[in-house]
């Protein structure tokens, strides 16, 4: 896909911020992105706001505070992929010639504790069949069967991402952790220990998307949005993010992530071998390994080996989650996908200091969650 | 008067030989749980009601160690996936809450088990799977 570039990005750090509202965080991120893009009042014709827990007209509240209303403002809910969905809608509108410049942002202030999702019916909660970490655990356990993944591999994913996140000022956790510490944390749902799960939290991220060629002269140089795809699930997989109550014994149903990645690579006319850096969904440590396989970064069944090779660590062939991932940043649903995009834009511009992936030219962002919703964004410079 | 109530009607039968209430698509032959009036796989109308097999094999399992929102039963409790001979995998409560005591492919059978007592004093029950021949 040609036609859309990212002219500016902004972010409110991810974490827990007492007394700071969802709107406050959105204002912070949007203001930074507009400033970087050199876009002022009247400079964008539409706004899409990703949020899952924000409530009615979350995007309007942010833009009202900034005196930037009048254009269509649409909130987009697609679970963990809300920001990716917003970006896809904006890119499509620019490509179609409907708008020249679109503001895309995501904001969230998650409730504390295990995520309570309105997705489930009350009886499912009452029967104990709605515990989010239990589904993560069942997928993790299947990965031990299909890919030889051990608890030690899961701990190593956390160690890697927390090492990456140690230099990320926007991350909730900026302290490295050892495999021993991860394995010593309490078991939430076997095989997942507490530190193998990301923290639902708060934050905001924003991106200014504009028609290619319109602002080629600006500094920093625009990053090209080469692909932006959202896909839902195909039925059949019992452990799909659509969280059905049953599935079929057919193991060949492509995952929503595979559907989205395949379409995004096609849109960008690129393949997994072209990538220099990846930010992927690591809600839990096993989810990152599944993502390697589902995106095609390694062969099916090869995720443990791929991790062990060091390829996905900073300095390796294809660093994954240089930002520290959700395991370091935490996960504010509506903002997490755009948080990845902000990181990757900064990586492609060479602005990431100690966690910079040298010479990165092609980057992929991936989020997946309830729905199912899977979002894949490909960026190039 | 207090009694025994299902966590939700229409999911399973109670009694000495309980069964899950499923459906089967006459067009693509796929089985469903719970019952559907449109096949989720081929979108055909008119799936036929059927009782699913009460025995199967364990395909995935874990234990939930802290009570999730909305759940008022004991913890830890087992939760997993059981594969039935109809070619269907079902998300289910498990009677065994120690993950180390279960094995891939082990034979499982359907049980109806208590979850908690509601505010009217009723015992709320749900479907679960136990290892075959477990007490």
Output the 3-class SS for B11-29: CEECCCCCEEEEEECCCCC
Residue B91 forms contact with A (CB below 8 Å): yes
Residue A126 forms contact with B (CB below 8 Å): yes
Q: Which domains does chain A have, with CATH numbers?
A: 4-111+203-211 (3.40.47.10), 131-198+226-380 (3.40.47.10)
Assign A222 a pLDDT band (cuts: 50, 70, 90).
Answer: confident
Q: What is the pLDDT of residue A213?
A: 79
Q: B65, A186: Cβ pair inside 8 Å?
A: yes
If one counts every other C-beta atom within 10 angstroms of the C-beta of residue A316, the result is 15
Residue A114 has pLDDT above 90, yes or no: no
pLDDT digits (tens, 9 = 90+) for B43-101: 999 999 999 999 999 999 999 999 999 999 999 999 999 999 999 999 999 999 999 99
Distance from the B88 Cα atom to the nearest Cα atom in chain A, whole angstroms: 5
Which of B33, B39, B5, B1 minimizes the C-alpha distance to B112? B5
Cα distance between residue A305 and residue A319, in whole Å: 15
Residue B71 forms contact with A (CB below 8 Å): yes
Cα distance between residue A247 and residue B89, in whole Å: 5
Reported ipTM: 0.97
- Asked whether the beta carbons of A202 and A108 are under 8 A apart, the reply is yes
The pair of structure tokens assigned to A43 is 């400079």
Cα distance between residue A357 and residue A361, in whole Å: 10
- Asked whether the beta carbons of A373 and A77 are under 8 A apart, the reply is no
Region A366-381: what's the mean pLDDT? 96
Region A126-131: what's the mean pLDDT? 95
Distance from the A246 Cα atom to the nearest Cα atom in chain B, whole angstroms: 4
Q: What is the pLDDT of residue A3?
A: 86
Distance from the A189 Cα atom to the nearest Cα atom in chain B, whole angstroms: 5
Domain ranges of chain B: 7-131
What is this structure's pTM? 0.96
Region A358-362: what's the mean pLDDT? 97
Region A298-313: what's the mean pLDDT? 98
The nearest alpha carbon in chain B to A193 belongs to B65
Average pLDDT, chain A: 95
Q: What is the pLDDT of residue A215?
A: 59
Q: Indicate if A189 belongs to the active site.
A: no
Assign A117 a pLDDT band (cuts: 50, 70, 90).
Answer: confident
When CB atoms are compared, the residue of A114, A141, A191 closest to B69 is A114
Region A1-20: what's the mean pLDDT? 92
Cα distance between residue B13 and residue A101, in whole Å: 58
CA-to-CA separations, A200 to A51, A53, A335, in angstroms, rounded: 13, 12, 11
The pair of structure tokens assigned to B93 is 């409560």
The nearest alpha carbon in chain A to B41 belongs to A235
Q: B99, A238: Cβ pair inside 8 Å?
A: no
Cα distance between residue A285 and residue A312, in whole Å: 13
CA-to-CA separations, A209 to A59, A61, A303, B83, B90, in angstroms, rounded: 16, 21, 34, 47, 44
């Amino acid at each position: 896909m040609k036609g859309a570039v990212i002219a500016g990005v902004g972010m409110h750090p991810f974490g827990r911020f007492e007394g700071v509202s969802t709107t406050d965080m959105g204002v912070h991120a949007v203001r930074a992105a507009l400033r970087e893009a050199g876009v002022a009042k009247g400079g964008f014709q539409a706004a899409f706001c990703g949020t899952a827990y924000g409530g009615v007209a979350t995007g309007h509240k942010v833009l009202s505070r900034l005196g930037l209303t009048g254009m269509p403002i649409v909130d987009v809910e697609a679970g963990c992929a809300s920001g990716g969905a917003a970006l896809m809608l904006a890119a499509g509108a620019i490509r179609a010639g409907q708008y020249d410049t679109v503001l895309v942002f995501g904001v969230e202030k998650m409730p504390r504790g295990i995520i309570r999702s309105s997705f489930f019916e009350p009886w499912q909660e009452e029967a104990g069949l709605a515990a989010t970490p239990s589904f993560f655990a069942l997928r993790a356990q299947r990965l031990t069967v299909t890919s030889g993944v051990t608890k030690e591999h899961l701990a190593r994913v956390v160690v890697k991402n927390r090492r990456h996140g140690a230099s990320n000022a926007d991350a909730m956790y900026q302290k490295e952790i050892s495999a021993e510490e991860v394995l010593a944390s309490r078991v939430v749902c076997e095989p997942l220990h507490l530190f193998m799960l990301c923290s639902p939290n708060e934050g905001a991220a924003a991106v200014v998307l504009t028609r290619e060629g319109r602002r080629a002269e600006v500094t920093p140089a625009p990053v090209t949005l080469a692909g932006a795809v959202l896909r839902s699930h195909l039925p059949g997989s019992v452990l799909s993010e659509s969280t059905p109550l049953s599935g079929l014994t057919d193991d060949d149903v492509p995952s929503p992530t595979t559907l989205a990645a395949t379409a995004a690579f096609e849109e960008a006319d690129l393949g997994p071998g072209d990538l220099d850096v990846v930010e992927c969904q690591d809600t839990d440590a096993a989810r990152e390994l599944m993502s390697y396989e589902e995106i095609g970064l390694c062969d099916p069944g090869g995720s443990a080996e791929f991790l062990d090779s060091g390829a996905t660590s900073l300095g390796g062939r294809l660093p994954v989650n240089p930002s520290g991932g959700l395991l370091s940043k935490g996960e504010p649903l509506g903002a997490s996908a755009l948080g990845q995009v902000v990181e990757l834009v900064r990586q492609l511009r060479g602005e990431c200091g100690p966690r910079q992936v040298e010479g990165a030219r092609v980057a992929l962002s991936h989020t997946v969650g309830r729905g199912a919703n899977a979002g894949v964004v490909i960026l190039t410079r | 008067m207090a009694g025994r109530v299902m966590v939700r009607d229409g999911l399973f039968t109670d009694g000495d030989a309980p069964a899950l209430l499923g459906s089967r698509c006459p067009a693509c032959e796929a089985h469903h749980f719970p019952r559907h009036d449109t096949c989720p796989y081929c979108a055909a109308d008119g799936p036929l009601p059927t009782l699913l097999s009460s025995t199967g094999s364990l395909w995935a399992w874990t234990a939930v160690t802290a009570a999730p929102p909305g759940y008022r039963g004991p913890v830890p409790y087992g939760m997993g996936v059981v594969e039935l001979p109809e070619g269907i995998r079902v998300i289910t409560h498990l009677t065994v809450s120690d993950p180390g005591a279960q094995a891939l492919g082990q034979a499982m059978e359907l049980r109806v088990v208590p979850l908690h007592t509601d505010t009217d004093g009723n015992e709320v029950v749900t479907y679960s799977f136990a290892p075959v021949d477990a007490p």
